[in-house]
Amino acid sequence: MDIRQLRYFVTVAEEANFTRAAARLHLAQPGVSAQVRQLERELGHPLLDRSGRSVTLTEVGKAVLPYARAALGAVEAVRQIADEFTGLLRGSVTLGLVAGAAAAADEFDLAAVLAGFHEDHPQVEIALTENTSEWMLAALHRGELDIALIGLAEEDAPPRISLQVLVDEPLVAAVAPDDPLLAAIAPDDPSLTSPDRTSIPLAELRDRPLISLPRGTGLRGVLDRACAQAGFRPRIAFEAAAPMFLAQLAARGLGVAVVPALPDGAASAFGLRTLEITEPRLRGRVALAWRTDGSYSPAATVFLDLLRTGLTTAVSG
């Protein structure tokens, strides 16, 4: 029995498939299969059930798996301790990005932070994934992500999660210049109009087609919760991950886009007018999120420290 066999076994168990496990290990599938069978012969028991469409653990395999993971963790810890004496950081870090965050260069240059970390620690592998905030919070709890950049739907931090808010800005209703919302203050009294209005009560969006981020994102959670408290369900006409694309849809007269306050010049570039949503005022917040239990590798710890300082500096600067 050797560490390589344990690593192959754990990977196959996680992927429930030899082909996917081999691809993840960057090896040929027959070699992975042969090594796992060798491990089973040495232990005298089958660890995997190969009879179904997917590979499953036998009872013995279920009992062995946590010890195999512990052995691999111990080996990685030995390597990390040795690396600390040479100043070399190894390992991997998984970072989740809320849909559309990768394009938010106006708020923070995440690519520059990643490039700087890679230059300083070339032996650390960084894995990026883009998904909804809801999915990423669950992945943080499961240990599938180390750190995530999420949109916040609630005022308070989720259980067992620490937050550092990077962006906190009002949500606006972006509309085409001929939209009636720009004129009507009181729909029941057409004489009360103002072409220069700068805000709109949330209730006025009750029957309007809205353009918003998808379900599971922080901004959409803020919108859905506020509408529910106001006694109506938002009429969502279009969903997209990128706020700028939502603005383009609104500019074409396809609905009212509910988006964070647009960068200077962006609204006029799209031919849009923006109205701050009030009664209640809604906020769009983006935050760095990580587990509070401190269960992080040295690589993830260093990377988190860099993000907490680098992104905050970029936003404030």
Residue 105 pLDDT > 60:
no
173 and 214 assigned to the same domain: yes
CATH of the domain at 225: 3.40.190.290
Quick check: 71 and 6 in contact, CB under 8 A?
yes
277 and 298 assigned to the same domain: no
Q: pLDDT tier at 317 (50, 70, 90 boundaries)?
A: very low
CATH of the domain at 47: 1.10.10.10
Last-in-domain residue among 30, 54, 86: 86
Return the amino acid letter for 30: P
pLDDT the model gives residue 193: 44
280 and 181 assigned to the same domain: yes
Residue 86 pLDDT > 60:
no
281 and 294 assigned to the same domain: no
Q: What is the mean pLDDT of residues 132-136?
A: 88
Q: pLDDT tier at 234 (50, 70, 90 boundaries)?
A: very high
Q: pLDDT tier at 264 (50, 70, 90 boundaries)?
A: low
Rounded mean pLDDT of the chain?
84
33 and 120 assigned to the same domain: no
Q: What is the mean pLDDT of residues 269-294?
A: 88
Q: pLDDT tier at 106 (50, 70, 90 boundaries)?
A: low
Last-in-domain residue among 42, 63, 86: 86
Q: What is the mean pLDDT of residues 278-291?
A: 90
Q: What is the mean pLDDT of residues 244-269?
A: 85
pLDDT the model gives residue 224: 93
Q: pLDDT tier at 203 (50, 70, 90 boundaries)?
A: very high
193 or 255: which leads in pLDDT: 255
| DSSP code of residue 56 | E
Count of domains for the chain = 3
Of 59, 125, 141, 132, the residue nearest 101 (C-alpha): 132
291 and 161 assigned to the same domain: yes
Domain span at 112: 91-165+286-316
59: its two tokens = 């009872």
Q: What is the mean pLDDT of residues 25-52?
A: 92
Q: Which residues pair with 285 in a beta bridge?
A: 152, 168
Pairing of the two strands 210-212 and 236-239: parallel
Q: What is the mean pLDDT of residues 58-87?
A: 82
Q: pLDDT tier at 240 (50, 70, 90 boundaries)?
A: confident
State CA 126 to chain mean position distance. Answer: 15
190 and 151 assigned to the same domain: no
161 and 300 assigned to the same domain: yes
36 phi/psi in degrees, rounded to 5 = -65, -40
172 and 232 assigned to the same domain: yes
279 and 215 assigned to the same domain: yes
pLDDT exceeding 70 applies to what percent of the chain?
88
Return the amino acid letter for 130: E
Residue 179 pLDDT > 50:
yes
149 and 206 assigned to the same domain: no
Give the tens place of pLDDT for each residue, 108-130.
678 888 888 888 888 888 998 88
* Range of lowest pLDDT (71-80, 84-93, 234-243, 298-307): 84-93
9 and 118 assigned to the same domain: no
204: its two tokens = 């006025």
pLDDT the model gives residue 196: 63
* Range of lowest pLDDT (38-42, 50-54, 264-268, 275-279): 264-268
Quick check: 216 and 133 in contact, CB under 8 A?
yes
pLDDT the model gives residue 187: 47
